[in-house]
Amino acid sequence: MKFTKMHGAGNDYVYIDCFKEKVDHPEALAKKVSDRHKGIGSDGLVLIMPSLTCDFRMRMFNADGSEAQMCGNASRCIGKYVYDAGYVRKRTITLETKGGVKTLELFPENGRVKKVKVDMGEPVLLAGKVPVKWNEPELINRILSFEPEEYAVTAVSMGNPHAVIFMQDIDRLDIERIGGKIENHPMFPERTNVEFVEIHTPTHARMRVWERGSGETQACGTGACAVQVAGVLTGKLERKVTLSLPGGDLELEWNENNRVYLTGDAVKVFEGNYEQA
């Protein structure tokens, strides 16, 4: 089975072109290919598929085999893949995801896409829709206990759930310990992604992310969008910012039309053949 390894801001996935390949058990395959010692090594598996309603369809699976609704970094890489492979020549395409339809604007240079802007849609703040178990309509900048730590949390869905935490000195954070604790806390019935954010200026912040089902990753596109929204809601960030992640920078804008736009790189690492057992 042919595959392509790609990354957006260091958030790396194994991509399968389902116009040419057939994947019968993606949950199991995701676990195998994601293993960084015995597999290809990635944050998960992404299937590029035909769609009845859009130009293309995406299914994505975390490293633990669980299926996720949406990934901003993976969406950008799909935009690069389908353009570079010659499936499209237009600069704007639509992508069907479990988190809704996303519109991608492609920026090619010398026949290859280098950067992609994704219309990530409108953020969801209603607690029951995120979802988060909370006794008020929204969970914004409220102190929660995760024993023994306490953090001010803002819950946002960008097609998948996020818990955004603003704090100091994120480099010293024991993310392996606290990330999994928050991800699996009972107040998040579908588990959650967790973003730890350090503000530098109103237009620039740094973040580390603990992704649901994958652990700490180099970047998370939907997480960056959730940080942008949470930053505006708490008065910490302006509506147009740059977020620096371990894997690189992402540009975010929460427009006045209530839609969040994510812009960043899309990089092909290598391609090869994977022998399925």
Active site residues: 71, 220
- Alpha-carbon Rg for the chain in angstroms: 18
206/197 Cα distance (integer angstroms): 6
Largest CA distance in the chain: 54
**Token digits for 266?**
């899309």
What DSSP assignment string belongs to 214-233? TEEES--HHHHHHHHHHHHH
Pairing of strands 193-201, 67-68: unpaired
CB 42 within 8 A of CB 14: yes
**Where does residue 132 rank: exposed (0-12), middle (13-18), buried (19+ CB within 10 A)?**
buried
**Where does residue 105 rank: exposed (0-12), middle (13-18), buried (19+ CB within 10 A)?**
middle
| Residues 227, 231, 232: CA angle, nearest 5 degrees | 125
23/125 Cα distance (integer angstroms): 35
The alpha carbon of residue 222 and the mean position of all alpha carbons in its chain are separated, in whole angstroms, by: 4
Residue 277: how many CB atoms within 10 A of its CB? 4
